[in-house]
Amino acid sequence: MSDRVKINIDGTEYEVDAGSNLVDAAKWHAGNDIPVFCYHPKMEPVGMCRMCLVELGTPARDRATGEVALNDDGSPQIRYFPKLQTACTTVVSDGMHIKTETQQVIDARNDVLEFLLSSHPLDCPICDKGGECPLQNLTMRHGPQSSRMYFEDKQLLEKHYPLGDLIFLDRERCIQCARCVRFQDEIVGDDVLAFHERGRRLQIITNSDPGFDTYFSGNTTDICPVGALTTADFRFGARPWELNEVPSISPWDAAGENISLSMRLDRDFDGKAMIKRVMPRQNEQVNEIWISDKTRFGHHFTRSNERLQRPRMRSGAELRDSTWEAAIADIAEVLRNADGDVAAIAGSGMSNEDLWELRRLMKGLGGNRLGAWPPTHGGAESVARAGVGFGTNLGQLGKGDAILVIASDLEEEVPIWRLRLKQAQDRGAYLVVANARDTRLEDFALQGARNDKVVEGDAIRYAAGDAVAVMRDLEKKHKAIAARLSQAENLVIVAGAEGLTLEGSAALAQAAANFLIETGHVGRPNNGLLSPIPGANGMGLHYVGYSPAASLDIAAKPPKVLIVAQAELLDDDPTAQAWLSEVETIIYANFFDGGISELADFMLPLQSFAERDGSYVNGERRVQRFYTAQGPIGQALPAWKLFASLRQAMGMSHLKPSAAAVMLELSKNVPAFDGMRYQALSQVKRQFPDVGSRDQYYGGTAYSNEGGLGIQIPSVADGKKLKPVAISEPEAISAVDGELLIVPVTRLYNRQRNFRPSLLMEPRILAAYATMNPDDAQTLGIIHNDVIEISAGESTLRARVCISDEMAAGAVALPRHMTDAAVPLTMTAGTVSRVSQAVAAAD
């Protein structure tokens, strides 16, 4: 990027990066907003809309000598193209001159807008995009004052065409810019949108089955420069100018997508502010301008009727409504009498502030058993040591770089990472996917060519349970792949936990870290380890001192008093019932009941991410804050306040006034959070591309970042040289005597408590298939679609079977949270038997 060239825009000279796009360069350096519709800086230019026409000239060269011809005054002669040129398809070159303000250019803009408007309906007053519509904005600035065409000759087309359950198309509004088509093709890699017919009849279609519902479909509605694409969730819900944008962070996964909550006082919510829609907020290092559909459409739990409303306390056989004063007094009493035999389990959706106050409470009581939930991924420690280097931006990975994804299905676990890593492969990075079964990312790794571009990748299929050995022995068993990974300029390894026990996943992360350390791929940007640790704050749990191992220890030796905060113990693991019954007092704080009301002694309502301030640490160790958007549900409290109140009630300290104050204290006490005060976390700087700025051409309605870009916690390797550590390899799980290994897998759309209230997504949750290899099926006499029973120890589960040779032999893949009966965490191997088809039919 050090190569710079000089270009002249309307008489002023600017120095810009060589190779940059003319529209981008003019906007970035000259503040000159060349109008565009089809161009989008995240996608290849196509030159379709013709809105960006400019006068373009380059230095004239003498035919014979090749020298630049000079004017009398010694300045280079500029030869202008006879026709206007599209800036969007032009790459800057040294000495280039453009004119953007001449009459010719003004007329051309006016003409193109007239052409577009001649077919566009006049329904701005009822259009979702009205108020933040590039077509509307550009018409105001460059457009004709009235239409010269005949209204009765306009084409009448469908106004509410469902492309799928989530996205609707208004065929009259579409201006055929192909942004949506190109987004699906280039960015997502799922070319399920296309044009049909031609000429003025050209229309967007999808022929996919089911309809248009990729995990990223909602982004098309943002980049659509008109109101042609709308989401089923938001369409006709509000006018953009009634909305109040509140910066937030996606509560779902380790990506930490920056989002903006569009709030409005709403009749549907007793006249209070409610989330009308969730929009991406630009953070080029984290999610660029994209979010997953889960993040966009999964917000309904924040105001679900099922939410806990007020504190409840056990009185004999039942829980009774209570007040906070009474509950806090009673809990303080219980805690005082616990003689230090207390423990806490905290869920990965808790903010850092919550975790800190809970930890202080526990410390004050003499307890140090701090469990992280769910205890399914043990890689946090390794991520803290050898995680991706300070300043990492997956958007910079490309030619010469490499990526290994092992034991993870990123499309389902952290969709934005999968999106960005696929992009990295498109830019030239070498992508290797290792797993015991096929995953979406593996398809990309093996695709070979995409959009006529050669892409490089490999896949490793191992027997279920072998992940650690594969990683440890990569150099021996997969020489060629290991060599390419080692020699890569930059290398990122994503180490998951699929098919592994907690110790297994910790060992895999260690093995991956060792490989990175040994090959010199840690301690610098764009190198190191990533782990799809479940939840939005898996790394926060680690840094504040919680560990998944502690959760297992608590289960093994139940304490007298247990605080369970934002952790769905029974939803995640029905076998927890057994040890929870041994706990004398369970203090349960969460959004929903979580099926634990029979066991809990206190049920305390907590505020969701939308109701309060807080911060999360994402998988790349970036600390990011979110802001209060809506009022609390019932009497719900932010978790930090609940625990701080308990401390106050027990005379340990005074209540802090705000989450910011808690963070201040955290930053002073936990080294990882050094310097992470809210003020610092809220800092923003100009990002390329300039989306959502005053012109809004690029982003449609993606929002520029005003809430803060966050700050990355350095890894240990960022500060000092690391040595590989011995891998504490757990005993291999083996399946003997006709048993099969059980591989719980994650699906993005599932029946987790927080996701269920988003009813729009219900039909998108797939049936709970257990997947097994045809050989195993044959041995066991099972056929496709049978219902099988899987028994392991005390637990049994039923599921319908899908037989696929994409599944490793000797194992059965079981999706977590697909039915109300979860896959117990303890289930690692068991027997499988056919129940009967009669059951299947009755199911």
In the complex, the residues that contact ligand FES under the rule CB under 6 A are 36-39, 47-52, 86, 88
Please tell me whether residue 229 binds ligand SF4 under the rule CB under 6 A. yes
| Cα 516 → chain centroid | 25
Please tell me whether residue 45 binds other proteins under the rule CB under 8 A. yes
Residue 2 Cα distances to 5, 16, 19, 24, 493, angstroms: 10, 10, 11, 17, 29
What letter would DSSP give residue 436?
Answer: S
State which residue, 225 or 535, has the beta carbon closest to ligand FES.
Answer: 225
| Cα 695 → chain centroid | 27
Please tell me whether residue 249 binds ligand SF4 under the rule CB under 6 A. no
Tell me how far apart the alpha carbons of residues 514 and 520 are, in angstroms, rounded to a whole number: 10
Instruction: Name the minimum Å distance from CB 177 to ligand FES.
Output: 7
Residue pair 622/256 in contact (Cβ under 8 Å)? The answer is yes
Instruction: Name the minimum Å distance from CB 111 to other proteins.
Output: 4
159 binds, among ligand FES, ligand SF4, other proteins, none (CB under 5 to 8 A by kind): none
The tokens describing 16, both together, are 């810009």
Site for other proteins in 441-480 (CB under 8 A): 449, 452
Between vectors from CA 577 to CA 573 and to CA 582, what angle results, nearest 5°? Answer: 135
Nearest to 641 by CA among 428, 417, 324: 324
Q: Which one of the spans 46-54, 379-387, 460-468, 657-665 is the region binding other proteins (CB under 8 A)?
A: 46-54
State which residue, 184 or 262, has the beta carbon closest to ligand SF4.
Answer: 184
Residue 239 Cα distances to 119, 277, 696, 830, angstroms: 23, 11, 17, 55
Task: Choose which of 195, 269, 324, 579 interacts with other proteins (CB under 8 A).
Answer: 195
Instruction: Name the minimum Å distance from CB 283 to ligand SF4.
Output: 23
Please tell me whether residue 63 binds other proteins under the rule CB under 8 A. no
State which residue, 83 or 320, has the beta carbon closest to other proteins.
Answer: 83
Residue type for 167, please? I
209 binds, among ligand FES, other proteins, ligand SF4, none (CB under 5 to 8 A by kind): other proteins
Please tell me whether residue 52 binds ligand SF4 under the rule CB under 6 A. no
Please tell me whether residue 112 binds ligand SF4 under the rule CB under 6 A. no
State which residue, 39 or 234, has the beta carbon closest to ligand FES.
Answer: 39
Q: Which one of the spans 11-19, 49-57, 373-381, 606-614 is the region binding other proteins (CB under 8 A)?
A: 49-57
Contacts of 605 (CB under 8 A, 6+ apart): 307, 308, 309, 310, 311, 589, 590, 591, 633, 634, 635, 636, 637
Nearest to 319 by CA among 586, 100, 583: 586
Nearest to 835 by CA among 776, 805, 791, 773: 791
The tokens describing 765, both together, are 């949750």
Nearest to 754 by CA among 301, 304, 277, 292: 301
The tokens describing 362, both together, are 């526990």
Please tell me whether residue 663 binds ligand SF4 under the rule CB under 6 A. no
Q: Which one of the spans 186-194, 247-255, 398-406, 783-791 is the region binding other proteins (CB under 8 A)?
A: 186-194
Residue, CB closest to ligand FES: 88
Instruction: Name the minimum Å distance from CB 90 to ligand SF4.
Output: 21
Nearest to 291 by CA among 616, 694, 701: 701
Tell me how far apart the alpha carbons of residues 675 and 241 are, in angstroms, rounded to a whole number: 36
198 binds, among ligand FES, ligand SF4, other proteins, none (CB under 5 to 8 A by kind): other proteins
Instruction: Name the minimum Å distance from CB 219 to ligand SF4.
Output: 10
State which residue, 188 or 670, has the beta carbon closest to ligand SF4.
Answer: 188
State which residue, 426 or 776, has the beta carbon closest to other proteins.
Answer: 426
748 binds, among other proteins, ligand FES, ligand SF4, none (CB under 5 to 8 A by kind): none
Instruction: Name the minimum Å distance from CB 49 to ligand FES.
Output: 3
Expressed in percent and rounded to 5, the helix, strand and coil fractions of the chain are 30, 25, 50
Task: Output 779-782 pairs: Cβ under 8 A, ≥24 positions apart.
Answer: 780/832, 780/833, 780/834, 781/834, 782/832, 782/834
Query: What is the contact mask toward ligand SF4 in residues 151 to 180, using x (rule: CB under 6 A)?
Result: -----------------------xxxxxxx
Please tell me whether residue 83 binds other proteins under the rule CB under 8 A. yes
52 binds, among ligand FES, other proteins, ligand SF4, none (CB under 5 to 8 A by kind): ligand FES
Instruction: Name the minimum Å distance from CB 161 to other proteins.
Output: 14
Residue pair 256/616 in contact (Cβ under 8 Å)? The answer is yes
Please tell me whether residue 666 binds ligand SF4 under the rule CB under 6 A. no
Residue 227 Cα distances to 170, 236, 479, 762, angstroms: 8, 11, 52, 26
119 binds, among ligand FES, other proteins, ligand SF4, none (CB under 5 to 8 A by kind): other proteins
The tokens describing 175, both together, are 């201006």
Query: Beta strand pairing status for 370-373 and 342-347?
Result: parallel
Task: Choose which of 63, 148, 267, 476 interacts with other proteins (CB under 8 A).
Answer: 148
Contacts of 709 (CB under 8 A, 6+ apart): 258, 283, 285, 624, 683, 684, 685, 687
Instruction: Name the minimum Å distance from CB 82 to other proteins.
Output: 8
Instruction: Name the minimum Å distance from CB 52 to ligand SF4.
Output: 15
How many residues belong to the chain?
Answer: 843
Which spans of this chain sit near ligand SF4 (rule: CB under 6 A)? 174-180, 204, 224-226, 228-229
Which spans of this chain sit near other proteins (rule: CB under 8 A)? 45-51, 53, 83-84, 86, 89, 107-108, 111-112, 114-116, 118-119, 148-150, 153, 155, 175-176, 190-202, 205-209, 449, 452
